[in-house]
Amino acid sequence: MFRSVRARLDGKAVIVTGAARGIGRAIAIKLSAEAADTVLVDVAQATDGSPYPLATPSQLNKTAQRCRALGSSVIECIGDVWSRDQISGIGWHSVDQLGRIDIAVNKAGIAAPSGRFVYEKTDDEWDLMLDIDLKGAWRTVREVAPLIISQRPLARHSAHLSDVELLRHVEKVSRGYAHPELAEPKLSEIVLPALRVDVAMHESYRPTSAAPAQVPVTTLQGVDDALVTRDECGGWAKCTSRGCAHVEFEGGHMSLAEDLRAVFGAIGDAFELATSRRPSDEQL
């Protein structure tokens, strides 16, 4: 039996851009009627180059009133999909206030200018429309999707999986990766406890801030790593304002090196770097 839409949306939190009027307002009201909590986003002010008046704060508030009348928890946010910082801030504020974000509806957009043939539009008018309608949607996805994904861990029930079920699950979610050592019973007994802890950390982790960490980061990787690429390791550079180093060893994903002294040496170097470059209280 299929669940009703109301059952699917009850307790869900949804961001709706362009929510002050028109289709955006209608979407927000429908979501509220189906028991979703809503985050209503609109620029709600004049935008340079727009060929007609945009929505107003009072219109955004009117949408919020209609959603609240349906029993929905509502957050009103004046924000511009043009701005990565504003959208990111709205996403984190939504998580802080509602505890989660499950869905993002990209409705913010303009026609440039409405009522004229496409061949009559200027380059600036066309670029403005694409920047809001297309790139604005992309910016919203880029900033909000990680918050949504972080709420969908590998398996919330992994602690209750048997060893065989856990290994099958890890192989499924890691793009088919299966280390030969896990097939050896004695080695598997050694590796499985650490693997369970690793999965549990993934499931329970919730970012608390979008700000980069105030410590340097060092990534360790085997040159034969079949699961994580060097580019993915490089992604840690976005998570710190103190620099990101990368150290490679001759091994693979689960066995970095035969001689662990090299690994421990790299960890020691990273720790020394972190402590020597720790920002002062004034810098924080």
DSSP 3-state helix, strand, coil percentages of the chain (rounded to 5)?
50, 10, 40
Q: What is the pLDDT of residue 118?
A: 80
Is residue 56 within 8 Å of 66, Cβ to Cβ?
Answer: no
Q: What is the pLDDT of residue 214?
A: 85
Q: What is the pLDDT of residue 209?
A: 64
Helix (H, G, I), strand (E, B) or coil at 19: coil
Q: How far apart are CA 251 and CA 224, in angstroms?
A: 6
| CATH architecture of the domain covering 5-149 | 3-Layer(aba) Sandwich (3.40)
pTM of the model: 0.56
pLDDT in tens, the chain (284 residues): 344 455 578 889 999 999 999 999 999 999 999 999 999 999 998 877 777 788 999 999 999 999 999 999 999 999 999 888 899 889 988 888 888 899 999 999 887 656 678 888 888 888 888 988 999 999 999 999 988 887 654 444 576 778 888 888 787 767 677 777 778 888 888 888 888 888 877 766 666 666 788 889 999 999 998 888 999 899 899 888 888 999 999 998 878 888 889 999 999 998 888 787 555 444 43
Domain ranges of the chain: 5-149, 153-206, 209-284
Q: What is the pLDDT of residue 1?
A: 38
Is residue 234 within 8 Å of 270, Cβ to Cβ?
Answer: no
Q: What is the pLDDT of residue 5?
A: 54
Q: What is the pLDDT of residue 18?
A: 95
Q: What is the pLDDT of residue 24?
A: 96
Q: What is the pLDDT of residue 53?
A: 82
What's CA 84's distance to the chain center, in Å?
13
Is residue 213 within 8 Å of 241, Cβ to Cβ?
Answer: yes
Helix (H, G, I), strand (E, B) or coil at 23: helix
Sheet strands side by side (includes 37-42):
74-78, 37-42, 13-17, 103-105
**84-91-243-201 Cα dihedral, nearest 10 degrees:** -150
* Structure tokens given for 170: 């890890």
Q: What is the pLDDT of residue 161?
A: 78
